Structure 1
Amino acid sequence: MKKLPIGIQSFEIIRSEPHYYVDKTLFIKKLMDTGKYYFLSRPRRFGKSLFLDTLRQAFLGKKEYFKGLFLENNWDWNTVHPVIRISFGSGVFRSMEELRTKIDSILTDIKNEFLIEYEKNAVNDRLMEAIVKISRKTGLNVVILVDEYDKPILDCIENKELAIKIREELKNLYSVFKDADAHLKFVFITGVSKFSKVSLFSGLNNLNDITIDSRYSALCGYTHDDVEEVFKDQMISVDKEKFRAWYNGYAWLGEKVYNPFDVLLFFDKKEFQPYWFETATPTFLIQLMGKQQYFVPSMEDIVLGRELIGSLDVDMIYVENLLFQTGYLTIKEKMPGEGMIRFRMGYPNLEVKYSLTNYFLNYLVQDYRKKENIRSNLYTCFEQEKPEAMEDIFQSFFASIPHDWYRKNQLAGYEGYYASIFYCYFAASGFDVKAEDATGHGRMDMSVFYKDTVYIFEFKVIENSTKGRAMEQLHGKQYHRKYAKEGTVIYLIAVEFSKEDRNIKNFEVRSLP
């Protein structure tokens, strides 16, 4: 069977005979009808490159690839436009020399494909020269498709000085698009992160950013209807609610989508595993969370302004915008109100929640056997309803963290660090956990639910103060009233820490009928 350009087709299911098609071509028509310059940011493995391939085949007039799809009868197949595709997806960029070599390779490929010759030397001059000569040679305006536009910067994001130099080199290249406007038909730029226009696209004022646009939320990824309709034979024996909870939930103000990589690997293996998460190692993000003393439990439910999540720059890197742009946080809703635009954010699904908290634990523990032993012992605590046994479990854990780790990460003095450890263990182990759980009397630090039992936690660092403040707050605020009903057992658990000892100083458990 001839392999269609991917993006028109959904991916081929591994070891499976049939091919499955998810039609995204309606979006191509909509883009063409409403504008000329577009930018889209999406996390890795969401099909950005596949969508660019689809765009390319459409502009090249390959009607045979679109049989039975929306675009077949809604496109001018008689006009074939020249397409320049620029991709920084392959390789790792660790120096300016590697970037310049890649750009030179791209310009050489353009020259060879369109049989033109360069008369100038600077990379921006050569790209401009290529666009003008190709347009004049063909008598048609040129389509520009840029894939992984930001990868050279992200590859060296930990080296700020180098990242800035690479950013400026790319800015020089992308600045061509503004001056080449008279020779351009359509421009589509995509990548993982969204750097500010000033950083990389200065002057390109008509660049339409469709990253957070409900009309294009499902441009990449599969909607639930896609899955139910296109993969219905694969879904027959699947627990649909669990499948949805594990993999659905990515949203950019519009319809929620699944990551295609997850869907197809699940259908192949029939196991609930973090397929998408395991394709990357977010070490820099985890280190940044530690450096900025990020309160991990806040990822359950956090309100952020558009400016904070909307753009990234080498000079202003925050945990929140990295979490959102890499796919570990997603938009739950746009908050009502005038003036400042705000969004309620949270984990997209269980895959991300379990995996990211587990990765954070790995960053701390490093001894995976010890971590797994602690998780097993926690299960025993909940099964036997012995919450007091958690004291020894977590004391052992905190004692195992090397002192050198604290020297590099000044975290031992703030409550959020300790609360984050408890939260990560519960979340990574699959327990139903709520952080910053709101009540009519304030917010409890954390609540964990297991069968008919609720465990309510309060955390405090109490250096040079009296023990017992955490339990006093639990009783005084009456947090437990939110869950007080017949048949429910409630435990109040006060955990107080010493930043000098870097461990639990006081652990109290009280049960309420």
Structure 2
Amino acid sequence: MIRFPYGISNFPVIRTEGYLYLDRTHYLPLLEEAGKQLVFLRPRRFGKSLLLSMLANYYDIKTADQFDTLFSGLEVGHNSTPEHNRYLILRWDFSNVLAQGSAEQIRQNLFDHLNVRIQGFVNQYREQLPDVQLNLLRDNALSSFEELVTVVQEHGHQIYLLIDEYDNFANEVLVRDAHNSRPYRELLEGEGILKGLFKIIKTSAAEGKLARVFITGVSPLVLADMTSGYNVATDISQQPRFNTLCGLTQQELGGLVTTVLQDCGQDESQGEGLLQTLKQFYNGYRFCDQLDQPLLYNPILCFYFLRHYQDECKAPRQMLDGNLMMDAARIRYLANQPSGTDVVERILDEENTITLDVLENRFGVEKLADLQQDERYLLSLLYYFGVLTIVDTDRLGKLMLGIPNLVTRALYVDELRQRILPAPKDRIAVANLAEKFYQTADLQPLADYLEQKYFAAFNNRDYAWSNELTIKTAFLTLLFNDIYYVVDSETALQRRYADLVLIIRPSMRQYPTLKDLVLEFKYLPLADLKLTGEQVREQSREHLMQLPAVQAALQAALAQLQHYRTVLVDKYQEPQRLYCMAVVALGFDRVVWQTL
């Protein structure tokens, strides 16, 4: 059985204890050629820490006698570079710096981390640094670092500095309070502590005390805010040749799925369906603008799914691992920015693609205050956080951005749901209504709730700008459930598109009460009906359905549904479970529907 390294980023452990390792060592010569000081940005939980662990063990002078054990059978094992096992390795992990308290407290947390790692470094390299005793200053770890690099150089060695999650604690400070960036600014602006630290790194590299620097993180925001302190690094994040440096490819995943099915004694013919599920929920990431580069899967989520499947011989009930809800806070932070909620709603609208001329890669926190005038920064941040990705380019070469997969879509939907229904009791009530709808296809209880509660959550501005998209978003927000369904909007059905499709997940089709559901929406402004909101609310649904404009809208939607039904029945072969509904909203006051 495959030993999936779920949550394990220790390269020697993976290599010596039989865990799966997907070889990325063929990138080592390319990384050496790319520059002496590199920055590599990827969303969280994409394998960056394992990459750094591999680099550390490849270049560490102390692991030279373990080279064959660690790298035999890998590409670099029989094609190593002259620099292997040549340096002393200093590793910092800023995700271990607690981002709580005042700026002064966070500063001290950073100093404590640096001093602990510096002392550990000296202890590790006693053979190379005999009798070295550093004066570690608790209130000035920058001085400790300067002393360290000088002493190492005096002993005839060089340091390879590896910094993991360089922006983690600074981003946590920023995200914690979307309306108060002061603590963040204190860490970075002027003579802020991070800017001071990276000035020393820059100077030490220029003086030859640091041979190489490799930095990982999520976004370029922090780098931009300390540009004058560290403006010499090469950002390789969007270079096409490094697109697959982290993440899983379709080919790699296909081989793992085949092995897992064999372990379960299941027919390999099930692999296509399993890969389709993984693709819908975990695929879709592209980290460059060259469309011939492969789309990537989130590795940690794939390992979570495959490990569960290997143990239980069935898919996990919940597709998003509860330990990986890390992006929700970032979406919330960005949604709290001026125009943020509007951007989230636009992102969920697949009919109107979002485009950017280029991804912003040098912008600081001051730009976040200008988002009402310029959304480039917000959209670029969403890309770096992994909740938007490059899906295509348009005729002018602009980047077309979209949601990469269904687990990411769930985060957006949940954010909207919490904004529209902030009270937990309301969200629970909606979940109960939705669950009944999944089993009965009876829309009335849900429609009653929409009319009595949900529509009231929209203000006059929403009403003025309401349209078919607004109604579709409302239903998507209420009905989205990735435990039971593959939930998609604007689903391609032989080059025609259904507004909202809920297809039972393969692993959930065993529950006979669940229905496959297709909804097609139409929106009629009250002005077109020549009725006021009060008049519409006073009339029964039966009477409203007979209005000529409503009948025309229903018939148009039913005609579209007839096509979708034919395609879906042919695909799933269960016509008795498929319910297709035409839904017409009359302003933001009433909803009527008809089942095909």
| TM-based fold match above 0.5 | yes
Please list every run of 5 or more consecutive structure 2 residues that lacks an aligned counterpart in the other structure.
123-131, 310-314, 369-376, 504-514, 537-546, 567-578
Aligned to 2:40: 40
| Residue in structure 1 matching 2:519, options 452, 455, 460 | 455
Aligned-partner SS, 1:176? helix
| Structure 1 residue 110 displacement after superposition | 4.8
| Residue in structure 2 matching 1:378, options 421, 437, 449 | 437
Paired residues in the alignment total: 486
1:151 aligns with 2:168: yes
Between 1:240-249 and 1:487-496, the stretch displaced more is 487-496
Mapping of 1:66-465 within 5 angstroms?
Answer: 66-73=71-78, 74-76=80-82, 79-94=85-100, 95-112=102-119, 113-114=121-122, 115-118=132-135, 123-137=141-155, 139-157=156-174, 158=177, 159-168=180-189, 169=192, 170-180=194-204, 181-183=206-208, 184-195=210-221, 197-202=223-228, 204-229=230-255, 232-236=258-262, 237=266, 239-253=274-288, 254-270=293-309, 271-272=315-316, 273-276=318-321, 278-280=323-325, 282-283=328-329, 285-286=331-332, 288-289=334-335, 292=339, 293-294=341-342, 295-296=344-345, 298-299=347-348, 301=350, 302-305=353-356, 307=358, 310=361, 313-317=364-368, 319-337=378-396, 342-358=398-414, 360-362=416-418, 364=421, 365-367=423-425, 368-380=427-439, 383=441, 390-398=446-454, 414-415=465-466, 419-428=472-481, 430=485, 432-434=487-489, 446-448=499-501, 455-459=519-523
Q: Distance in 2 between matches of 1:218 and 1:119?
A: 40
Between 1:157-166 and 1:267-276, the stretch displaced more is 267-276
Aligned-partner SS, 2:20? coil
Aligned to 1:59: 59
Q: Distance in 1 between matches of 2:412 and 2:362?
A: 22
In structure 2, the CA distance between the partners of 1:127 and 1:10, relative to structure 1 (3 Å rule), is closer
Q: Distance in 1 between matches of 2:528 and 2:99?
A: 50
Between 1:195-204 and 1:369-378, the stretch displaced more is 195-204
Task: Give RMSD over aligned pairs.
Answer: 4.3
Please list every run of 5 or more consecutive structure 1 residues that lacks an aligned counterpart in the other structure.
498-503
Q: Is the 8 A contact 2:48 2:246 kept in 1?
A: yes
In structure 2, the CA distance between the partners of 1:496 and 1:427, relative to structure 1 (3 Å rule), is same
Q: Is the 8 A contact 1:250 1:257 kept in 2?
A: yes
Aligned to 1:500: none
Q: Distance in 1 between matches of 2:296 and 2:202?
A: 33
| Structure 1 residue 141 displacement after superposition | 3.1
TM-score normalised to structure 1 length: 0.79
Q: Distance in 2 between matches of 1:90 and 1:166?
A: 16
The amino acid that maps onto 1:328 is V
The amino acid that maps onto 2:308 is K
Offset from partner CA, 1:214-255 (integer Å, 9 cap, x none) = 211221122222233356422444522223322222221332
Mapping of 1:461-500 within 5 angstroms?
Answer: 466-467=530-531, 485=563, 492-497=582-587
TM-score normalised to structure 2 length: 0.69
Q: Is the 8 A contact 2:198 2:229 kept in 1?
A: no
Decide which structure has greater helix share: 2
The amino acid that maps onto 1:378 is F
1:506 aligns with 2:583: no
In structure 2, the CA distance between the partners of 1:445 and 1:268, relative to structure 1 (3 Å rule), is closer
The amino acid that maps onto 2:347 is S
Q: Distance in 1 between matches of 2:465 and 2:249?
A: 41
The amino acid that maps onto 1:327 is G
In structure 2, the CA distance between the partners of 1:214 and 1:308, relative to structure 1 (3 Å rule), is closer
Identity of aligned residues (%): 20
In structure 2, the CA distance between the partners of 1:423 and 1:362, relative to structure 1 (3 Å rule), is same
Q: Is the 8 A contact 1:21 1:230 kept in 2?
A: no
Q: Distance in 1 between matches of 2:22 and 2:519?
A: 45
| Structure 1 residue 167 displacement after superposition | 2.5
